[in-house]
Structure formats: structure tokens, C-alpha cells
A and B are shown apart, each in its own frame.
Chain A
Amino acid sequence: MLRNYFKIAWRNIMKHKMFSLINIIGLTIGLCTSFIIGLMIYYDFTFDNFHKDTDRIYRIVTDFDSSEGEFYNPGVSTALETAIEDNSSFEIVNGFYILRPFKVENKVNQTEFKWPSFVIYANASYFDMFKYKFLAGNENTILSNPNEVILTENRAKEYFPNLKPSEIIGKTLVYNDSLNINVTGVVENFKSRTDFVFEEFISHPTILQTRLRETFIERNWNSTNSNSQLFVKVKENDDLNKVKKELHELAEANTDEDSKKYGQTREFVLQPLRDIHFNEDYGIYDWEKGMASKVLLRNLVLVAIFLLLLGCINFINLNTAQATQRAKEIGIRKTLGSSRKQLIWQFMGETFILVLISAILSVVMTKWLIKVFSDFVPSDLEFSLLAEPLILLGIILLLVLVTFLSGFYPALVLSKFNTVSVLKNHLGIGDKKVGLRKFLTVFQFTIAQIFIIGTLLVGKQINFLLSKDMGFKTEAIVSVFSPRSEGELSKKEIYAQKLKSIPQIKSISLGGMPPASFNTNSSTTTLNNGNSEVQSDLQFIFGDTQYQKLFELELLAGRVYRNDTIQELVINEAALKAYGFSQPKEALGSMVDFGDRKVPIVGVMADFHQRSLRSDIKPMALVGDWYRKDFTQFRAVHIAFNNSSSEELKSTLNTIESLYKQVYTEVEDYRIEFMDESIAKFYDREKKVSKLLNWATGLSILISCLGLLGLVIYTTNRRIKEIGVRKVLGASILQINTLLCKEFLVLVAIAFVIAAPLAWYGINEWLQDFAFKTTMSFWVFLISGLSMIVFALLVISIKTLRAASVNPVSSLRSE
């Protein structure tokens, strides 16, 4: 029986190749996206789920709330650890400090390692909380003395190549030229997905021999460093609210006077271990690795669901439309003794075969698509993840679900046929479902239409962001950054001097970051403007006296500071307003109070955008290099070019690089940034959204149009006779084409009417993220509506034109 069903199913698929193809394409697209997105979700949600008692481990983080807004810090003040150490609610209290040594030496091999990453100062409690597998070393006396270090397998291989873990124990490493530290253990790196990427664990007491000695002797409540990490494992069945309350009380009891005065509050918050991978407020330890965004995942899931639904709808539409063609078979089977249940199973089986074919295709495509979507897919997400039992189970469930969604309704309709009327050729059930098919088609096109409008508007906003005048010069400017370890100015000055010899360079300025960057540096200031004392945060950009000219920052009043190190401020209009002045001139000469010093305002510059257009323009000041004696804020050489051809520019850039190498001979850390490219980088996220939307739009149009094509083929075939009669009566091809297209175009138009407000609402929500937004123009909606209609018309006409041009003699010939 089963074989018979499969045979029939296969022959049916082959007989209606066009319909089968449409169904398979639609389902494949839906399944493929679901697979990839499923993989991503699985990947992101299986981070750090292998630790013992994952659900009871929390990181304590700090949330600040002030009039300026909320700030989040993944660290806590060092005093907190001591305060909760003996709290009975916690099974383990695990505080560690992230600190990169600038140098590690293996004296035996005479090898040197600069700035090794992921080095922490930790206690035995760290290994209590996160279980590592020890390859060598005593597990009972972990990091119990100062000057001990445990290495991971990977790091050990770097420091001690060719040595077995057991041979490394007892070897000495020299940190920062002076600290002799013994290796007491080698642990295996975590094999499962984890955000705990640390490679070197130095015993915590050792930190007293570093520059942080004071910090850890004092352990004060007021400073919060993100490197100071604190994890706790809450006891089983302990009341979490009680713990939260205690943390709240601790935060309140230890607020300093200044914070109270200015209404700043601080809160210690329990962040669940499983939240670390998702919460961008607090970040993860390896910045280069992507974090997962729950919002992005949610949107991706929506896209997958929609595409899958569209595929299922095609299936339902085409199969109910085709029902009349299957009716005869159904009638015969019923007279031969088939029950309705048996028929339903038969059709479900057919559906399953199609779904299975699509699934196989999808698996193949997934491999390829993981590359296409590399912007979204984490780089180490691998195709082989598909073989995980949970994923396999999920895929099987999904296939069954899709089979049900797309197959059940057609099966019900088909199996319902009345035997007698079918065999007498009194068909009609297929036609009764016209209403449903229309509804589903409208649904499909509504989704496609929403995607189109969304794509256009997001594109428009990105275009707006990129083309909006930032308020300073962004073209033909590059910034060359000095090596990270370089704290002195002298070499930069030599470099700048050398650059001056290049004729294509218009001007050169030494300074900090360019006017717009991801970095911020700010202080709280107060100012007495004559009427009252005003407090405001003030951001800084650092530059020499040429900086303002090079970036063409417009000066509204006053002047730039007289030399590079004098303590004078050039504030922007936002600061002007924040301090309560109405005219630029009024501010000149006023003293800004930084607490430990007062600095005069000597100039006022026009506002420019300091960051992406998502954020408002904040009060800011352009200042010189005030602390040059200790360290310089000038990290880069900014270069403006004369107008020149791209050929010339290329050779100039080469010269700039070779000069850099002449000056900085020891380190290889050449970093150059084009101002316009850096600004484009602000909008990486928006570009991702846009790419995602492009794909979703393309695919949803494809699926919907294929579905429409299927319906058109079907209805047109049924009306062949009518077309023949009309032609005999004198209708032109165009008239017939209009007649055939009309009913479908109405559906597309209805879809537009439904989609437009929904899309408007969605995009409006999205635009709320931006301080500066493009307008949602009427023409965008018009264009998207028209383009949808054009698409549909093209698809419909493929079939209707051919049908309309058939010679009526052949279509009217009876049987």
C-alpha cells in the first residue's frame, strides 16, 4: 500500500513538473532559512551551558543612573568582593581581575611575548566555579600562594613549545621584567562554546606586586573598573530577592557624597551567566568575537517564519486549485473502497515527499548560504552542527510541522469530494475554495509588500545618514595612528615633520581621535554663568592648534587656544546651551570648573556630529594636550590632501606608509583610517539590517510571484474555452489579457492597502533609534506599490499572453 502511495506521489510530482517546482522552490527557501537561523539560535544558546549549576551562577555588574542617562559597567568596585565574601547566600564568591602584562619572558628559551591577552588574577574559587580539566599540576592547591600561574594548554604551547604539560610544571616565567612566576598547572581549554576565553590565571595575591597594589590594599567603593569582575554562585533554594535586597543595601550604604549631591545612583545587579552572551550593555571578554543579539535573533526568526509560511501557502493554493484534476482519481479510489482517512494519509504522504525533497536541497544550500550570510552567522558556526542530535530532532519536527501546515488542508479538501458527482463530472469543489486562495494570496503579497517598503525606507535612512553633513570635513582626510604602546610625542613630531615634504598633503595636525569616533572622553564640570551654577558633562576631543582648521570646524566666536599645551577650551554650541548662554560671545572668558582646576573658554565652535546620527550632539570641548608631561593625548597624525586623482592618492598613501616605517622601526602596528570610511562604520548595524531586508524581500517576492504564477496557470487553463469563445466573438489579445490580469491585480492592490500602514508603523518604530531621521516620503510607498504591481503583471502576463494568443480553433475543438 505504502509503495503504491509513493509511486503515485512520485508520478504526480513528475506529471505536474511546473507546480512541483514552484512548491519545491518555495519550501526550500523557507526551510533553508529556517535551518540556518535554527543553527544560529542553537549556536548562541549553547554558550556556557556546560558549567556545573549554570543556573545558579551570576556575574555582579554595576548600573549607574544619573541625569545624563543610564550607564552599565560589567565590573564592580573592588570593595564589594570583601563585603560579600562571608555572605551565607553564596556557595562560591569568585572575584578576578583582568590585567594584561606588557611582557612575558621565557628566560630559558630566551623568548619574549608582548601584551599577551586574556590574563587574569584569580583565586582557587575561579576553578571551583568553572571546572577545568587539569592536564598537569596539583588540583588541591590551586593558586594558593603568590607568584603562581596556571596556563591553558594553548598558552602553554606558545610559551613552552615542545614541552609536555607535566614538564612545564615548576618552570618560571618573568612578567613585566621583574615578576618571577612559577607555573603550577596546565588546564585544557574549554572544548564547548564559551565566552570564558582566559588563557593565563595568575594567583590573586600577586596583584599586590603590580601597579594596582594601592587599589587592592584600599579596596574602595567609589571607583568601578570593568576589569574587576565578580561572580557568585547562589546556594540552592536561596531566595534571590533577599540577595538582591542585600546588594541594593550595600550599594546605598556606600554611596559617596558627590553622587548624592548630583542625584547619581548605583545599583549592583545580578547578571545570569547565560545572559552574558547576549547582553550588549555589559559585553563579553573577547571583543573581537561577536555577541549574540536577542533582538536580531528574534527578527531572523520572524523572517524564517514568514518565508516558511509563504512556501506553505503556495502549496495550499496550488494544491486546492489543482484539486479538480485529482478529483477523478479520488472518486475512483472511493468506489474501489478507500476510506477518507486513507486518502488523507495518501495526500499527506505526497506532501511529505515534496517537503523531504526540499529539505534535502535545503541542507545542501545551507552549506553555501552560511557563507552568504557571513555577516550574521558567527564565524565558527559550522555546517557540521547540523548533525547535533537536538538539531536533527528539530529538523524532523520542522518537516512534520511543515508537512502538516501545507498538506493537511488540501488533503481535507481533496478527500471530501463526493464520489457520484465527481464521476459524473459535476466538479466544483475546487472552485468553492477560490475565496480562501485569494485570501492567502493577499497574505503573501502583504508580506512581500511590507518587505519592499521596509527595504526602501531603511535604504533611504542609511543614505540619509551617510550623506548628511557631519558639520566638519570628512573627505580626503586620513588619520594615521601611532603604535598603541607609544606614549611619547617625539616620534610623532618627527613623523609629522617628514610628512610635510609630500607636496600632495595640504595640511597636517597632531591630535587625538578625529571629531567623530566611537571613543569618548568626558568629565563632569560646573560653571557659574552669572545667574546660577550649572553642572554638565563635557566631552573632549584633543588636537593641536591646526586641528580646527584641518577638519574645518567652524569657529563662531573667539579663537583657538594659543599653543598645544595651554589649558584653554573651545566649546561647541551644545555646551554653550548646557551652560546657559544664549550668544557665543557671552561665554568667552567664563571659567569652567573641573573640580581641581578652572579653565577659561576662549572660543565657541559650531555643532558637529560626534558619533553616529543615532545620538544627539553632546556638549563638547576641543582642547590641547594638557598632560603632555605625563602622557600625550595625541595618538594620531591627521592628514588632509589636496584635490588629486586616485592614482596620485595611491602613491601618496604609499609614501605615508613608508615614512611611517622609517620612523617606527621596531613595531608593526600601522593603522590608517579614512574619515569617510570610519563614518560609514558607524552604520554597520544598519547595513546588516538592510542586507537582511534585501534578502528577505527578494525571496518573499520570488515565492509570492511563483505562487501567483501557479494560480494564473491554473485559472487560465480552466478558462481556455472561454478565451476561445471570446476570440471568436472578436476580442483582441490585449482585451483578453486585461480580463485575465484584472482579478489578480486586484489582489495585489488589496495587499498594498493592508501592507502600507503596517510597514509605516514598523519603520517608524525602527527610526525611533535615531536622533536624526529621514522623512517617510509618500513616493516611497508609491514606488514600492507600483513595483509590486509591475512584478505581478510581468509574472501574470507570461502565462496570460500565451493563453490569449492561442488559436481558438484548437481550444474549442471538443474532446
Chain B
Amino acid sequence: MSILLSLNEATRSVNSGNNKVTLLNNINLQVKEGEFISLMGPSGSGKSTLLNCIGMLDNFNGGGYTFLGQPVHSMKEKKRSMLYKEYIGFVFQAYHLIDELTVFENIETPLLYKNVKSSERKALVADMLDRFNIVGKKDLFPEQLSGGQQQLVGIARALIGNPKLILADEPTGNLNSKQSTEIMELFSELNKEGVTIIQATHSEKNASYGSRIINLLDGEIVSE
């Protein structure tokens, strides 16, 4: 299978006062298309930072990062934004839906930023609502939904742009066990359909859905 992204000695550090704090240290990682990776490790081990950097919301400040054969580390902001708009979807622990928008509009938003035509947008969103069985909820606002339903909308929104890679940061962290199971089932179904997934999680059970587990400690990969 072809390589989706690779990290080569990637490093991320910040300055906190006079001290330089290293968040990620010499990370070497290759992700192939179709993989389902679980990042594990205690709080502060660098899981979220790694996800953010892979998702190009944040940048490594050392080492190389190649995505689909293109060097992300030397790209301009605009190009990078084009890249992640096209290929990456995010799922957050706190769902991060826009409170002022309805379910339908939330799912629609990424398409707006990709300049998809109105009629096409409607069709795509309708398909997505159908697939997730939330057609009846399309005109509700996020606060009118349960946490599990909100996360469903979050995933639907991540998928609407048809991304190659989904980055999920503790996607079940705010959910009860029944809802968690549903969401994880969904992820593995998506993975079977060919979507690459990288999730950060604390739970061994959730991690077991993945095809590969990476353990992080203090910003370094300790085991695979």
C-alpha cells in the first residue's frame, strides 16, 4: 500500500519563559493508506500535539514532514491550507460544532470553504445525513442534541469533504460507554471503506479497534 505521510525526526518545542520545552522529540513515523492508528500515552505525552502537527493546525519546528509525497515543512501557509482542506478531516473530543449553525449547516460548512456549488452541497449533505440516520435532526442546533449525536455530526462533518485521513483527538472522551462503542464501530467501518484514521485515546478498548498502536511518553515514541 502506498505511503500517505511520513515523519522524519520531527520535533516540536515551545519556549515557556526561559526554558525550552520539547513537546515532540525526533518522531519517526510512516503512515500507509488504509491504516487505523491509535496513539496512546498518559496526559502530556504529546498525543494531541502530534495530531495537530500532522493535521497542519500546528507546525513541527524541526525535521521533515511529507504528505502524499509533498514536503509540508517547506510549504507556504496557503498551500498547506489547500492541502488539509482537501485531504484531512478532524474529529474533536468536545465535538466543536458551531453553536449558531444547525446540524445541516454545520456539515455543509467545509464544502463552503471548498467552493462547492449549492446544489451539489445539498446533495452531499443529504447523503451524509442519510448515511448517519440523522435526517430528522438536520434543523436542530447542537445544544439540542445528545453528546453521541453531536459527535456523529462531528464525524459527518469531517467526512463530508471526502478526506483521505481522519484525525480524531479522544473522540469518545466525553461520551458514555454505549455511545463510545457506537462511534468506534463507525470508525472501523469507515476504515474498512478505505479511510485512513489516526486517533488519540486513553482507552485500551478503543485502541484495540486500530490496526496499529503507538505509545508515546514525554514526546517520544516508546513502543509500537
B61-114: which residues lie under 8 A (CB-CB) from chain A?
Answer: 78, 81, 84-85, 90, 92, 94, 96-101, 105, 108-110, 112-114
List 12 A-B pairs, Cβ < 8 Å.
A4-B108, A4-B112, A7-B101, A7-B105, A15-B100, A331-B96, A332-B98, A336-B110, A337-B81, A339-B81, A339-B113, A423-B92
Is A145 engaged at the interface, CB distance under 8 Å to the other chain? no
Chain A residues near B55: list those with CB within 8 A: 335
A321-350: which residues lie under 8 A (CB-CB) from chain B?
Answer: 328-329, 331-339, 342
Contact: A337 with B113, CB < 8 Å?
Answer: yes
Please give the residue numbers on chain B whose beta carbons come within 8 Å of chain A beta carbons, in ascending order.
48, 52, 55, 57-58, 78, 81, 84-85, 90, 92, 94, 96-101, 105, 108-110, 112-115, 157, 161
Contact: B52 with A420, CB < 8 Å?
Answer: yes
Complex CA gap A337/B96 in Å reads 14
CB distance from A103 to the nearest CB of B (A): 78
Q: Which residue of B lies closest to A339 (CB)?
A: B81
The one of A329, A336, A419 that contacts B99, using a Cβ cutoff of 8 Å:
A329
Contact: A423 with B114, CB < 8 Å?
Answer: no
Q: Which residue of A lies closest to B55 (CB)?
A: A335
Complex CA gap A335/B109 in Å reads 11
Is A12 engaged at the interface, CB distance under 8 Å to the other chain? yes
Contact: B100 with A8, CB < 8 Å?
Answer: yes
- Name which of B84, B97, B112, B161 has the most chain A CB atoms within 10 A of its CB: B112
Contact: B84 with A329, CB < 8 Å?
Answer: no
CB distance from A322 to the nearest CB of B (A): 13
Contact: A337 with B99, CB < 8 Å?
Answer: no
CB distance from A354 to the nearest CB of B (A): 16
Please give the residue numbers on chain A whose beta carbons come within 8 Å of chain B beta carbons, in ascending order.
1, 4, 7-8, 11-12, 15, 328-329, 331-339, 342, 419-420, 423-424
Q: Which residue of B lies closest to A419 (CB)?
A: B57
CB distance from B203 to the nearest CB of A (A): 20
Contact: A329 with B112, CB < 8 Å?
Answer: no
Contact: B113 with A342, CB < 8 Å?
Answer: yes
CB distance from B79 to the nearest CB of A (A): 12
Going nearest first, the 3 A-B pairs with the smallest beta carbon separation are A337-B85, A337-B113, A11-B100
Known contacts A329-B99, A419-B57, A420-B57; A336 and B157 CB within 8 A of each other: yes
Complex CA gap A420/B112 in Å reads 22
Contact: A337 with B105, CB < 8 Å?
Answer: no
Contact: A329 with B85, CB < 8 Å?
Answer: no
14 extra interface residue pairs, beta carbon distance < 8 Å, beyond A333-B109, A420-B52:
A8-B100, A8-B101, A12-B100, A328-B98, A332-B96, A336-B157, A337-B81, A337-B85, A337-B110, A338-B113, A342-B113, A419-B57, A423-B92, A424-B48
Complex CA gap A15/B101 in Å reads 12
Chain B residues near A11: list those with CB within 8 A: 100
CB distance from B74 to the nearest CB of A (A): 20
Q: Which residue of B lies closest to A326 (CB)?
A: B100
Contact: B58 with A420, CB < 8 Å?
Answer: yes
Chain B residues near A1: list those with CB within 8 A: 112, 115
Known contacts A4-B109, A7-B105, A423-B92; A337 and B98 CB within 8 A of each other: no
Complex CA gap A16/B98 in Å reads 16
Q: Tell me if A's interface is mostly helix, strand, loop or mixed.
A: helix
Complex CA gap A97/B90 in Å reads 87
Chain B residues near A338: list those with CB within 8 A: 113
Complex CA gap A329/B96 in Å reads 8
CB distance from A540 to the nearest CB of B (A): 79
Complex CA gap A337/B161 in Å reads 11
Contact: A335 with B112, CB < 8 Å?
Answer: no
Chain B residues near A342: list those with CB within 8 A: 113
CB distance from A20 to the nearest CB of B (A): 14
Q: Which residue of A lies closest to B52 (CB)?
A: A420
CB distance from A610 to the nearest CB of B (A): 71
Complex CA gap A1/B105 in Å reads 11
The one of B57, B78, B94, B114 that contacts A335, using a Cβ cutoff of 8 Å:
B57
CB distance from B155 to the nearest CB of A (A): 14
Chain B residues near A331: list those with CB within 8 A: 96
Q: Which residue of B lies closest to A342 (CB)?
A: B113
Complex CA gap A342/B101 in Å reads 17
- Name which of B98, B108, B115 has the most chain A CB atoms within 10 A of its CB: B98
Complex CA gap A333/B81 in Å reads 12
Q: Which residue of A lies closest to B94 (CB)?
A: A423
CB distance from B198 to the nearest CB of A (A): 15
Chain A residues near B81: list those with CB within 8 A: 337, 339
Complex CA gap A419/B101 in Å reads 19
The one of A8, A332, A334, A423 that contacts B97, using a Cβ cutoff of 8 Å:
A332
Chain A residues near B101: list those with CB within 8 A: 7-8
Chain A residues near B52: list those with CB within 8 A: 420
Q: Which residue of B lies closest to A329 (CB)?
A: B98
Chain B residues near A339: list those with CB within 8 A: 78, 81, 113
CB distance from B67 to the nearest CB of A (A): 15
Contact: A329 with B113, CB < 8 Å?
Answer: no
Known contacts A4-B105, A342-B113, A420-B52; A329 and B100 CB within 8 A of each other: yes
Complex CA gap A338/B109 in Å reads 9
Complex CA gap A420/B81 in Å reads 14
Q: Which residue of B lies closest to A14 (CB)?
A: B100
Q: Which residue of A lies closest to B161 (CB)?
A: A337
Q: Which residue of B lies closest to A325 (CB)?
A: B99
Chain B residues near A336: list those with CB within 8 A: 85, 109-110, 113, 157
Complex CA gap A4/B108 in Å reads 10
Contact: B100 with A328, CB < 8 Å?
Answer: no
Complex CA gap A261/B78 in Å reads 85
CB distance from B160 to the nearest CB of A (A): 10
Complex CA gap A342/B81 in Å reads 13
Chain B residues near A4: list those with CB within 8 A: 105, 108-109, 112
Complex CA gap A342/B85 in Å reads 14
Complex CA gap A93/B150 in Å reads 86
Chain A residues near B94: list those with CB within 8 A: 423
Chain B residues near A7: list those with CB within 8 A: 101, 105
Complex CA gap A679/B133 in Å reads 85
CB distance from B111 to the nearest CB of A (A): 9
Chain B residues near A423: list those with CB within 8 A: 57, 92, 94, 96
Complex CA gap A12/B101 in Å reads 10
The one of B48, B84, B100, B108 that contacts A337, using a Cβ cutoff of 8 Å:
B84
Q: Which residue of B lies closest to A328 (CB)?
A: B96
Complex CA gap A730/B114 in Å reads 55
CB distance from B44 to the nearest CB of A (A): 12
Chain A residues near B110: list those with CB within 8 A: 336-337
Chain A residues near B57: list those with CB within 8 A: 334-335, 419-420, 423
Complex CA gap A335/B163 in Å reads 13
Q: Which residue of A lies closest to B97 (CB)?
A: A332
Complex CA gap A334/B113 in Å reads 10
Chain B residues near A329: list those with CB within 8 A: 98-100
Chain A residues near B92: list those with CB within 8 A: 423
CB distance from A11 to the nearest CB of B (A): 5
Q: Which residue of A lies closest to B105 (CB)?
A: A4
Contact: B98 with A333, CB < 8 Å?
Answer: yes
Complex CA gap A617/B91 in Å reads 87
CB distance from A475 to the nearest CB of B (A): 68
Chain A residues near B114: list those with CB within 8 A: 337
Q: Which residue of B lies closest to A330 (CB)?
A: B98
CB distance from B55 to the nearest CB of A (A): 8
